[in-house]
Chain A
Amino acid sequence: DQQVKQNSPSLSVQEGRISILNCDYTNSMFDYFLWYKKYPAEGPTFLISISSIKDKNEDGRFTVFLNKSAKHLSLHIVPSQPGDSAVYFCAASEGWYGNKLVFGAGTILRVKS
C-alpha cells in the first residue's frame, strides 16, 4: 500500500497562473516532507521541504503547505513558468535526518505559454 499518494497524474496550467500540486500520506510517523522536480533524462532535484513543526515554507515562487491533521501537503508555484514543466515528486521521511525517503508516484506539470 502506497504511504505517499499523488492522486493527480498530470496537471496543465497557463503561464503566469498558480500551479497547485497535492500529496497525501498515511503514515503518521512521517514528519519531514520534500518536493523534488524531475526533467526528462535527468535525475530528480530537490525543490523545497517542510518539517512537521511548520505549516508553511516559502522559497521564492514555491510554497509548501502542510496540514498534519488531514495528512496532506501541497506545493504552490506562483507564477507558473514554462520552465516549471516537469514531473514533481512528493516524498516523506521519519525525521529530517531519516535515511529512507518514501516517494509518491509523481505529477506531470505542463505550463502552457
Chain B
Amino acid sequence: DVKVTQSSRYLVKRTGEKVFLECVQDMDHENMFWYRQDPGLGLRLIYFSYDVKMKEKGDIPEGYSVSREKKERFSLILESASTNQTSMYLCASRSQDPGLQETQYFGPGTRLLVL
C-alpha cells in the first residue's frame, strides 16, 4: 500500500511567519505534488516535482516555494504567511513508470490557519 504522510494535521501560524509543510512518501515515486483545497474551488496545483531537485510551477505558485532534496520528501514553504493562505494543503505522489497506469496518491492533508 502506498503511504503518503504529512508532518502536521493542523497548524496555526501568525502573519509573516515562515511555514514549512513536509510530505513523505514510501513508494519510491518520482512525481510529487502540492495542492491546496478551498471551498468552491476544489484542488488547485501549487507546485510539482518530477525528480529530486526538479520542480515546476503549478497554477497558483505565488507566495510559495518548494524543496525536493530527497526522492521521498517534498516540502512546501510559505516564505511569509498571509491570511489568504489559510487552507487545506494536500500532498500527492505518483510513479513515473510508464508501465504502470498509476494515479496520484494523496496524504491526509494539513489544515493551516494563518492569523
A contact set with B: CB distance below 8 Å:
4, 6, 9, 34, 36, 41-46, 49, 89, 91, 96-97, 99-106
Instruction: Check A105 against B48 for contact (C-beta < 8 Å).
Output: no
Residue of A nearest to B98 (CB): A97
Which residues of chain B are within 8 angstroms of A41 by Cβ–Cβ distance?
Answer: 9, 108-109
The residue from B9, B43, B101 contacting A103, defined by CB atoms under 8 A apart = B43
Query: How far does the alpha carbon of A41 sit from the alpha carbon of B9 in the complex, in Å?
Result: 9
How many B residues face the partner with a CB closer than 8 A?
A: 25
Instruction: Check B109 against A49 for contact (C-beta < 8 Å).
Output: no
B contact set with A: CB distance below 8 Å:
4, 9, 31, 35, 40-45, 48, 50, 58, 90, 92, 94, 98, 101, 103-109
Instruction: Check A99 against B50 for contact (C-beta < 8 Å).
Output: yes
Query: How far does the alpha carbon of A49 sit from the alpha carbon of B90 in the complex, in Å?
Result: 20
Task: Please name 21 pairs of A and B residues whose Cβ atoms are closer than 8 Å in the assembled complex, sorted by A.
Answer: A4-B42, A6-B42, A9-B40, A41-B108, A41-B109, A42-B108, A43-B106, A43-B108, A43-B109, A45-B106, A46-B103, A99-B31, A99-B94, A101-B43, A101-B104, A102-B45, A103-B35, A103-B42, A103-B43, A104-B42, A106-B42
Query: How far does the alpha carbon of A49 sit from the alpha carbon of B102 in the complex, in Å?
Result: 11
Known contacts A43-B90, A44-B90, A100-B48; is-contact A89 B108 (Cβ 8 Å): no
